[in-house]
Structure 1
């Protein structure tokens, strides 16, 4: 059997070939009813567009570049899931460019790298436009930030100050000393980001309003061994300073909270009874461990960033837009 063509889809849907093309390219000018009819015809015929013909006809690569610090964390896996869901729906391929180190950063700041040959660019977590002359990217293609905020480009970002404040307000509800664990990674030193600085700011403001001091704070690199060592340091201090009431520890990322729970169990301490633990992220495993944490709509943030970029690719020429996402507290057994 011959494969169905775009002409077959047009005849079945009762529209012109140009309308089918606009539907395939997610053009905003197509009426909803017409789009539904074309999509029904595509499904009925099991039509698959020819990507090469699409690229030649449209003068585009139908590829989007995504620059992000690393690939190996749960956060970025979830963020990519949200980005890719929206881009795949619009039939765009995603090319991933991890920054990882200074040499890669310097290479990507050049104007002739493969990352800039896509139709659009997503920069995750770090506003690299700050490192460029006149705060502009080296590509004429649209650029969107995700998990970072800038007034100069479209962005979808998390309100980490609010998240830290919510953690602090929950921490001061119970008696006992309050401790905190923060993240300081080489990546954060290399590519300035405000994620953990903002969480700390919000947390400390809540403690200050409640008149509660922060007993001790430790900083950890973002890996499991460093997190376990930091957890041991916090619990050493907490057990040495024990004053009767269980302490509360705010771990500014669930990876740190997980290490803290492991260290507590190794010492025979019962989270939620002998100490309270609050995390930040609400990773997929957090519910199974009973972790009280700040839930982030990470996939939704990624999807919104992709939607912003797609609107630019479809002709939007307005002022930069900012989409703010807010974490919310999920109370479980550990606090």
Structure 2
């Protein structure tokens, strides 16, 4: 049985080869009924496009480059899932470039490396306002930011300030002294993120409005061991104080909150009675562990960023657009 061709699909669907090509490329200029007919013909014939021929014919790579800090956290795994879902629907491949440190970011900003051979670029989390303002991004491809905001480019981001306010408003109603653990971020403003700064600002704003204040603030780098050490230091401090328990802790990421849950239980403390713990992210494990946290739709944020980029690739030439997502509080046993 011969392998079906694009001509076979066109004949079965009763359309031209150009129409089939537009459907494969997710082009907007196809009627929904025609698109459905072509997609059914593709499914019936089990047709698979030849990616090499598609690239030559279209003059495109059909690849999107994604630059992000790391690959090893739950947040970025979820963000990539949202991005890849949208790009795969549009038949684009994704090339992932973890930067890991500031030197790699500078290298990508300063040269036409492999990342720039893609049709579009996604940059995750960075404070790139200066980069866009100074036009340091050496690329002509459409570019979108995700988990970050600037007026100079399309972006899809979380309202972390609002999330911090929600955490502070709720923490102010809970008993005992108030404590907070923040994610330690790079001080260099090019390679940092406003995510945790915004959460902290919102948290303090809400506490001030409620007439409360934080007893002590801690920072931890974003890894499990550092988070556990910080949790231990916090609980050592609290348990040394007369009347230190119960207390309430806002951990600005679920990774930190999870470490605090573990450390509390090792010490025989009961989350939600001795230590009230609030996280931020609502990672997939949070419900099973009873963690009160701020839910953020990470996959949806990634998916929307991809849609913004795909619309640029489809011909949109209008002004920069921003898609803002709102977190919401999910109350569970830990607080």
Normalising to structure 1: TM-score of the pair? Answer: 0.97
TM superposition shift of 1:129: 5.7
Q: What is residue 307 of structure 1 aligned with on the other side?
A: 307
Cα distance in 2 for partners of 1:188, 1:93 equals 32
Q: Deviations over 1:197-235 (max 9, x none)?
A: 000011111100100111111011111111111111211
Partner of 2:328: 328
Q: Counterpart in 2 of 1:49? A: 49
* 1:277 match: 277
Q: Secondary structure of 1:196's match?
A: helix
The within-5 A match list for 1:184-223 is 184-186=184-186, 191-223=191-223
SS at match of 1:109: helix
Unaligned runs of 5+ in 1: none
Change beyond 3 A, Cα 1:242–1:37? farther
Q: Distance in 2 between matches of 1:245 and 1:257?
A: 17
Name the residue aligned to 1:149: 149
Q: What is residue 77 of structure 1 aligned with on the other side?
A: 77
Q: Distance in 1 between matches of 2:136 and 2:321?
A: 16
Q: CA RMSD in A?
A: 1.5
- Residue 189 of structure 1 and its aligned partner are, at CA, apart by 6.4
Greater mean alpha carbon deviation, residues 219-228 or residues 248-257: 219-228
Which stretch has the larger CA shift, 236-245 or 29-38? 236-245
Structure 2: gaps of 5 or more residues = none
Other-structure match for 2:34: 34
**Match of residue 86 from structure 2:** 86
Q: CA separation in 2, counterparts of 1:243 and 1:304? A: 48
State the secondary structure of the residue aligned to 1:135. coil
Give the secondary-structure state (helix, strand or coil) at the position aligned to 1:217.
strand
Offset of residue 262 of structure 1: 0.9
Q: CA deviation at 1:45?
A: 0.7
Q: Deviations over 1:53-78 (max 9, x none)?
A: 11111110000000000111000000
User: 1:168 aligns to what SS in structure 2?
Assistant: helix
Query: How far off its partner does 1:128 sit?
Result: 3.6
| Equivalent residues, number | 335
For the residues of structure 1 that align with 2:69 and 2:131, how far apart are their CA atoms? 15
Query: 1:15–1:229: structure 2 CA closer, same or farther, 3 Å change rule?
Result: same
Contact 1:251/1:278 (8 A) holds in 2: yes
Q: Find the aligned partners of 1:278 and 1:36 in 2 and give their Cα distance.
A: 46
Structure 2 Cα separation of the partners of residues 133 and 167 of structure 1: 33
The Cα of 1:131 is off from its aligned counterpart by: 3.4
- State the distance in 1 between where 2:325 and 2:198 align: 14
> When the two structures are superposed, what TM-score results if normalisation uses the length of structure 2?
0.97
- Write out the 4+ residue segments of structure 1 that deviate beyond 6 Å after TM superposition: 187-190
- Counterparts of 2:293 and 2:103, CA distance in 1: 36
Q: State the 1:244 CA deviation.
A: 6.8
